Homo-oligomer: A and B are copies of this chain.
Amino acid sequence: MNQIVSSFGTTVRQLRESQGWSQEVLAERADLNRSYIGELERGQAIPSLLTLKKISNALGVSLSNLLAHTERIAQTRLVRGIELTAIAC
């Protein structure tokens, strides 16, 4: 289950950087704390639905698209994990 939290963090970092924003800028636009944004991006904090909504609004994407991006990252990591296991065996 932590895979989804970690993939969400990567999603936030990717979308934030694609806007050219610092964590400070995203934090201000999402009405969240800068250090909390850092924790989210490192997969060290589990966001609530309200936090997800704030971040999707700030990044200008829908909630479902934000989660679809997250699911694609989680899926890619899962496949890579399987491939690495296959090589190791």
User: Which residues in A have some Cβ–Cβ distance to B below 8 Å?
Assistant: 1, 4-5, 8, 46-50, 52-54, 62-65, 67-68, 70-71
The reply to whether B71 and A8 contact each other, CB–CB distance below 8 Å, is no
Nearest-neighbour CB distance to chain B for A2, whole angstroms, equals: 8
Query: Which residues of the partner chain B approach A49 to less than 8 Å between Cβ atoms?
Result: 4-5, 8, 46-49, 52
Query: Which residues of the partner chain B approach A71 to less than 8 Å between Cβ atoms?
Result: 62-64
The reply to whether B50 and A5 contact each other, CB–CB distance below 8 Å, is yes
Query: Which residues of the partner chain B approach A8 to less than 8 Å between Cβ atoms?
Result: 49
What's the Cα separation between A67 and B62 when bound, in Å?
Answer: 9
Apart from A62-B68, A64-B65, what are 6 other A-B pairs with CB-CB below 8 Å?
Answer: A1-B50, A46-B48, A48-B49, A49-B49, A49-B52, A62-B71
